[in-house]
A and B are shown apart, each in its own frame.
Chain A
Amino acid sequence: MATLSDFSMPQVMRRALLALCPIALPEERIDAEDLAETMVDNAELFLRSLAPAGRAAIVVGTIGFEMAAALRPSSLGRTFSRLPREQARAYFDSWWHSKNPALHNFAKGVKSMLAMTYYELPSVRQELRYHPDAWINKVARERLARFSDEIAAHAERLAAPAPLLDAVGDDDHASVGASASASDERRHNHG
């Protein structure tokens, strides 16, 4: 069985996901910026990290979703990816609202996977004003500037000998303690 980087999405699955992207997520932006290909590439990366059984379930489910569209009379034999957008949307909606848990859970699962890939895209993060990297860089610099002595002291403590048997001794005493404020908090909360 293929695993991780050996896994490539079957073409029929890729077609289905490309058609699904503008239905499961904001259509206008995906079409305007041609984001679907990138989303599906990222979905492929995600699938590589799954256990083989989970990945197989998604692959089989997606192919089933694609092919089963052809069985609906209104589809005139066309699979999901060949349906006009509105008809495709109605088809996905029928799975989303299905009373059959397998169909419903597939619709939820595949939407989740695509949602994750969409909201990781830099341009989408930009639109949401979500800039964690800049924030992380800023606070990391500030921490180092302000607390370098304590950071070094803790690193030294981690490297210093403090044999367990000496430290815990008998039942009656301990040799090292938490910070005073944390200890006070514990007494307060675990009386």
Chain B
Amino acid sequence: MASIPQGVYTRDHWPAVGGTAGGLRKRWWGGYEVELRADVIIIGSGAGGGVMAAELAEGGLDVLVLEEGGYHGTEEFTADGAAMARKLYRDGGLTFALGTPPVMFSEGRCVGGSTTINGGMSWRTPDMILERWRREDGISDATPDKMARYFERVESFISARLNDPETLGRDNELLKQGADKKGWRIIQNIRNTVHCAGSNNCAFGCPTGAKQSTLVSYLPRALRFGARVYADCRVDKLLLDERENRARGVSGRVIESNGQPSHRFVAHAPVVVVCCGSVQTPALLARSGLKSPSGQLGHNLALHPNAKLVALFDEDVEAYKGAHQFYQVREFQEQGIGVLTAINVPPGIIAMSMPMYGERLGALMRDYQRMVIAGCLIEDSVTGRVRVTPGGKPVCTYQLARRDAQQAVRAMSLLSELMFTAGAKRIILPFEGVPELTSIDDVRWLRNQHIGRESMELLTVHMMGTARMGDDPRRHVCDPRGQLYGARGVYLADASVFPSPIGVNPMETVMTLATRSAEKLLRDHQSGRLLS
């Protein structure tokens, strides 16, 4: 069990949570609820919530962070994938956007949110995307120059940097060899690490503390400036002053270790910042009875669908040794294939996704050490939707566009070509019913095949855009400052505000937009408008 830092409260602290900060209030229909107060309530502690908490707390506001997941410190993170998935991921990491094909997605549910379980890629929003947001969505300061000061501040706190050369693993070395032989543009990855040790366990929590997730960067900073972080607290709904149509707080329940809700709480604040991610944010707003005047809340879900292949080499690769995604192939970025890369995936997860079973699967997996797992990121051209069930749960739907399906086939062809060039002997594709590739001739064959969408195995960790930001209340859900149209005091700060997919890993964009929104909130606070 992790030692809990001062200022972090878990289910074990209830109902006497936070000492004098909390109070017990008798409810008129029976029972008690804990009553909390703050200037600002932040829901979620990931890329958006962590940044908001630190910036606003340092700016002198009384900040309360409410996180549905538990607090797990660095010392708890191990390579036991199944145990970590149960601990750190929503629904054990097995959630799907329904459609053809269903797309598996993962969300972090722990203090630090998805920054605890991501690969730490720290890329600025591409210039062409900022330009699109400025031109089409009216975000007037979305220019590389004006955003630079926010990017630089974020990069400083999360230590965005290149990996140390000695942490280059053999899988990424092979990726580089293949790309160099093909003459494709390959770049070193920038990640939020203080000297990544190359343990390649990012997806299950960084066991060395090198990755600067908000768990070890922004949240300690927030605590340093007096913020309180309440783990195991699920917010059920936002509370609104209906006469003035503005935020007045939230209500929710503490979640016990068996998943059952226990203590009720109500927290009061004139400002509520929702940072629950592109799936949970629209669900929470909808559960609270909030609708955007544009009718676009929950629409425009983009996923950056990605597919992964397994390339088998004649040598031991030992892909778990080395930094996560040391390199990225960016040759095809302008063509909508944002990234080609090699990644480490533990045997259990690989075996899950292989289109075979029994002895055949066993025979393949015996070559685990000779595998390079390589994947792509596709900038999608269609969008999905998040709906809410009568019970308040989000349901995602996403129909892969034919063009994007073709892009997935093309990306897998390109990656196969690269891997054969690097010396791979066999390649197993994420397309059911498509035979293994054994030579570069097979890649040419693959390019001419029609692969049905239903046979594709796709997944994502990049959900974006269900509450998009912009200057037009008829098209957008929140204004360029992140404030929800139609409800004063409700701000959004996560990937749901992206007006479009960005084609690169989204963490730094989320953090930067959150920093920018925090600045605007603090300016309002300075002039006395924020809390009045």
User: Contact residues of A with B, CB < 8 Å?
Assistant: 3-6, 23-27, 29, 42, 45-46, 48-51, 53-54, 89, 92, 96, 101, 108, 111-113, 115-120, 124-125, 127-130, 132-133, 135-136, 139-140, 142-143, 146-147, 150-151, 154, 157-159, 161-165, 167-169, 171, 173-179, 181-182, 185-186, 188-191
Is the CB–CB distance between A143 and B197 below 8 Å?
yes
Contact assessment for A115 and B144 in the assembled complex, using a CB-CB cutoff below 8 Å: no
Give 10 closest A-B pairs by Cβ, nearest first: A26-B362, A174-B149, A4-B259, A132-B79, A178-B155, A49-B92, A115-B351, A119-B348, A139-B197, A112-B352
Given A158-B221, A174-B149, A176-B152: A165 and B144 within 8 A (CB)?
Answer: no
Q: Tell me which of B172-180, B188-196, B233-241, B402-410 binds A.
A: B188-196
Please tell me which one of the listed residues B78, B82, B257, B519 contacts residue A164 in the complex, with CB atoms under 8 A apart: B519
What residues of chain B lie closer than 8 Å to A177, measured between beta carbons? Answer: 152, 155-156
Subset of 30 A-B contacts with CB under 8 Å? A4-B257, A5-B259, A45-B82, A46-B86, A49-B86, A51-B91, A51-B393, A54-B91, A115-B361, A116-B352, A118-B348, A119-B351, A133-B78, A133-B79, A136-B208, A139-B197, A139-B208, A140-B199, A143-B208, A158-B224, A159-B220, A164-B59, A164-B515, A165-B59, A165-B522, A168-B149, A176-B153, A177-B152, A177-B156, A178-B160
* Contact mask for chain B residues 155-166; partner A; CB cutoff 8 A; 1 contact, 0 none: 111011110000
Q: Which of A23, A164, A173 is the one whose CB lies under 8 Å from B55?
A: A164
- Closest chain-A Cβ to B261's Cβ sits at a distance in Å of 10
Contact B153–A150 (Cβ < 8 Å): no
B161 A115 Cβ-Cβ under 8 A: no
Q: Considering the complex, give the chain B residue whose CB is closest to the CB of A6.
A: B258
**How many Å from the CB of A74 to the closest CB on chain B?**
20
Assembly CA distance A147 to B518 (angstroms): 33
Q: Could you mark each residue 330-341 of chain B with 1 if its beta carbon is under 8 Å from any beta carbon of chain A, else 0?
A: 100000000000
Give the chain A neighbours of B195 by CB distance below 8 A.
143, 146-147, 150-151
Known contacts: A51-B393, A168-B519. The answer to whether A116 contacts B217 by CB under 8 A is no
B371 CB → nearest A CB, Å? 10
Judging by beta carbons under 8 Å apart, are B82 and A185 in contact? no
Q: In this assembly, does B99 line the interface, its C-beta being within 8 Å of a C-beta of chain A?
A: no
Residues of chain B within 8 A of A157, CB atoms compared? 156-157
Could you tell me if B197 and A26 are in contact, using CB atoms closer than 8 angstroms?
Answer: no
**Closest Cβ neighbor of B225 among chain A residues:** A161
Q: Is the CB of B82 within 8 A of A117?
A: yes
Partner of A5 from B207, B257, B347 at Cβ < 8 Å = B257
B347 touches A25 (CB 8 A): no
The residue in chain B whose Cβ has the minimal distance to the Cβ of A129 is: B369
- Report if B148 contacts A (CB, 8 A): yes
Contact B153 A167 (CB under 8 A): yes
